[in-house]
Structure 1
């Protein structure tokens, strides 16, 4: 029992670390039109929407955006952006699209909020919020793509990147209860199989 608990804790910790890294450091997982043009991460969608709605101070948005901006600057071998020019570096001060375009992508917007919130609250206790957010994002992007092919929306710029599937698996395996159930089920099957082999030998 103790070993299965330790194993579940280890798996959850690794899975959440991968999930947290992809979300907070803004690894592209999808591509959809948004207020700033094309958004490729949940933080870009969340930040652009928070700036447009003016619900939270810009300082909060900058704190949310900074890790991704830092990672992008290092990967592209550019100078690290200053706190003052952070939003310009992330292109969050560019043109806005119509509100109707946001309404068409409610699943993407809600999924982005839940994904980011899941990464932040998961530092205290990982839960299902991140998983629900990723599932909403996948459904939202697929829905936009289907609607575009049907002539109801434009498919230009709408993609799902391979990292989306990595973060989906990570979000699932960061839920400790589900991981423990999987380990218990696997352990029981292995024990039953071992007993059957022993009985056949006798």
Structure 2
């Protein structure tokens, strides 16, 4: 069991990298257009609802923006243009219907981003819970066709990296199998007759 003891820590770090660098997990319609990662979904909702300061949202988006710009454009994006890159400048007037139709993906994205950040300090179940919510939302739309989508350019797509995210999310949960296997129920106390009872007097 010793070699597996650090698995949750390493899995949490990999999951954090996948989330913060905005590795595409899926492609779904959202308030800002088409979102491909939990941070995209979360940021569009945060900017539209004014729950967090814009600076906090830009800080969340910037590492992934730098990573993607270095890969595809060999450049570093401007801090002031981050919201424009993700189509978040005029999002407050956009329709909230895409997010409301996919509440599982929206809630799962919140939990995934929060779980990735908290998991750096201590591995926990939030990442797993968020990832399962996202998977269920995608499965519900893909298999059950809810909500119904008639536009092929806005069809839902799941990338193979989603499987890596699921594996990391489950591996980040710390299970103590050894303790569970060796745990024994506490022995029941044996009732002894009181000294003043008839049984004790007969003895």
In the alignment, the residues of structure 1 paired with residue 40 and residue 136 of structure 2 have an alpha-carbon distance, to the nearest angstrom, of 18
- Residue 84 to residue 135, structure 1, CA distance change in 2 (3 Å): same
Question: What is the aligned partner in structure 2 of residue 154 from structure 1?
Answer: 149
Q: CA RMSD, aligned part only?
A: 2.2
* Gaps in structure 1 of 5+ consecutive residues: 186-202
Contact 1:36–1:93, Cα closer than 8 Å, also in 2? no
Q: Number of residue pairs matched?
A: 178
* Matched ranges for 1:191-202 at <5 A: none
* Gaps in structure 2 of 5+ consecutive residues: 182-203
The counterpart of 1:51, out of the listed 47, 50, 56, is 47
- The answer to whether 1:18 aligns with 2:9 is no
- TM-score (normalised: structure 2): 0.80
Tell me, what secondary structure is at the counterpart of 1:165?
Answer: helix
Per-residue CA shift, 1:90-137, capped at 9, x if unaligned? 333356642232211100000000000000111111110000100000
* Matched ranges for 1:181-192 at <5 A: 181=177
- TM-score (normalised: structure 1): 0.80
Tell me, what secondary structure is at the counterpart of 2:78?
Answer: coil
In the alignment, the residues of structure 2 paired with residue 142 and residue 181 of structure 1 have an alpha-carbon distance, to the nearest angstrom, of 31
Question: What is the aligned partner in structure 2 of residue 84 from structure 1?
Answer: 80
Larger-Rg structure: 2
* Matched ranges for 1:113-192 at <5 A: 113-148=110-145, 152-154=147-149, 156-177=154-175, 180-181=176-177
- Residue 56 to residue 12, structure 1, CA distance change in 2 (3 Å): same
In the alignment, the residues of structure 2 paired with residue 23 and residue 105 of structure 1 have an alpha-carbon distance, to the nearest angstrom, of 19
